[in-house]
């Protein structure tokens, strides 16, 4: 296996599998595998990516350089980088990385990349779309069970030593409306169908999908809102979706319906949702994403009855980097051979 070394003053060999002094916790310092074409990995957890490249036999074809995202890789390194793996844009990237041809985002949504002046126009941007397919659907199902079985109320009863037998509803026979039937939505639909739920939803291409009873175009969003017992938001943040769930949209929902937002925080007008939940215009909401994160302690979303806060944990799980590494190494192989990359972001559409 090629030796992994610091690019800073400390040139001692590092074991890439040694978590204590190897690949973790070295803010601002960069390390590399000796090879040819430079690929920059700006992540605090590079081990899965290095292992994936080694397993695929690609480590000797690239100079894999690891730089902690809290630091700056430096002009010299950026000047020779042809590919980049990162959470967010690096300042002045277009001027500092003239050879950069491919950027792999560590996130599924890339609006922060697309809105940044630091995104080079000549580089192909790929996202981590689909790598939340294990964790997020389970979090969404947890939210469905949480509100239908009144779990927050049961926990509160226990905390106050109160014996109260709550009448819980079933998910069987209920309608789940998914706005944004992508990869995550398809997996949620599969799991919901196994619970005998009726699944409807919207998709830009309204072609039939397995486990979805009715696939509609975005122009039928109002129908989905009106028919659903649970409305699940999985949409990207683009001009046509920002502020989609406002007072008028909430008025279309059943008074017994719940809103679940696992898409983007700016899909919802917060003040309108707070008013709808507080007045019982809808049953409530489970929110995993927010316009501002961390959610400020002063936000009324924290204290409004029947609004449940998940602190943007829907996609987190121990194997997430391994799943992203699988996608990244496949794209690395394609990049090496000049083949089209997977999960390319359409800059015009915004996702």
For residue 4, what are the contacts with CB-CB under 8 A and spacing of at least 6?
A: 13, 14, 15, 16, 22, 23, 31, 32, 33, 50
CA 348, CA 192: separation in Å to the nearest integer?
33
Beta bridge partners of 30: 67
155: enclosing H helix or E strand: helix 151-159
Joined tokens for residue 20: 């204590």
- For 56, the token pair is 């695929």
Enumerate the active-site residues. 264, 293, 312
**Cα distance between residue 100 and residue 279, in whole Å:** 53
User: Is the preceding peptide bond at 244 cis, omega within 30 degrees of 0?
Assistant: no
Residue 312: HSE in the Cβ half-sphere, 13 Å Cα cutoff: 11
Assigned token pair, 323: 């799943």
Tell me if the bond preceding 317 is cis, omega within 30° of 0.
Answer: no
199, 176 Cβ separation under 8 angstroms: yes
Query: 3-state class of 334 per DSSP?
Result: helix
DSSP codes of every residue in 3-46: -EEESSS---EE-TT-TTTTSSS-TT-EEEES-SEEEEEE-S--
The answer to whether residues 163 and 153 touch, using CB atoms and an 8 Å cutoff, is: no
């Amino acid at each position: 296996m090629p030796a992994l070394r610091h690019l800073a003053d400390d040139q001692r060999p590092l074991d890439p599998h040694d978590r204590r002094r190897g690949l973790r916790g070295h803010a601002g310092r960069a390390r590399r595998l000796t090879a040819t074409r430079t690929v920059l990995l700006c992540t605090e957890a590079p081990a899965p990516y290095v292992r994936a490249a080694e397993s695929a036999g690609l480590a000797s074809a690239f100079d894999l350089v690891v730089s902690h995202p809290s630091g700056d890789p430096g002009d010299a390194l950026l000047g020779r980088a042809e590919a980049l793996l990162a959470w967010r844009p690096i300042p002045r990237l277009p001027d500092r990385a003239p050879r950069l041809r491919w950027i792999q985002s560590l996130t599924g949504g890339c609006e922060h990349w697309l809105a940044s002046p630091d995104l080079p126009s000549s580089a192909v941007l790929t996202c981590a779309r689909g790598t939340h397919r294990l964790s997020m659907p389970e979090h969404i199902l947890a939210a469905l069970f949480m509100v239908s079985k009144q779990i927050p109320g049961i926990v509160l009863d226990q905390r106050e030593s109160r014996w109260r037998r709550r009448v819980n509803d079933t998910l069987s026979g209920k309608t789940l409306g998914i706005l944004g039937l992508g990869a995550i939505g398809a997996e949620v639909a599969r799991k919901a169908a196994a619970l005998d739920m009726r699944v409807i939803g919207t998709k830009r291409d309204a072609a039939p999908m397995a486990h979805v009873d009715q696939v509609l175009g975005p122009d039928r969003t109002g129908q989905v809102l009106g028919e659903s017992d649970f409305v699940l938001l999985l949409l990207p943040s683009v001009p046509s979706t920002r502020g989609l769930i406002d007072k008028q949209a909430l008025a279309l929902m059943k008074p017994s319906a719940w809103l679940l937002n696992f898409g983007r925080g700016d899909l919802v007008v917060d003040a309108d949702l707070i008013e709808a939940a507080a007045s019982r215009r809808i049953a409530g909401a489970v929110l995993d994403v927010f316009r501002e994160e961390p959610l400020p302690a002063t936000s009324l979303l924290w204290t409004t009855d029947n609004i449940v806060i998940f602190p943007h944990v829907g996609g987190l799980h121990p194997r997430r980097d391994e799943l992203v590494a699988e996608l990244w190494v496949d794209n690395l192989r394609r990049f090496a051979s000049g083949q089209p990359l997977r999960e390319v972001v359409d800059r015009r559409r915004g996702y």
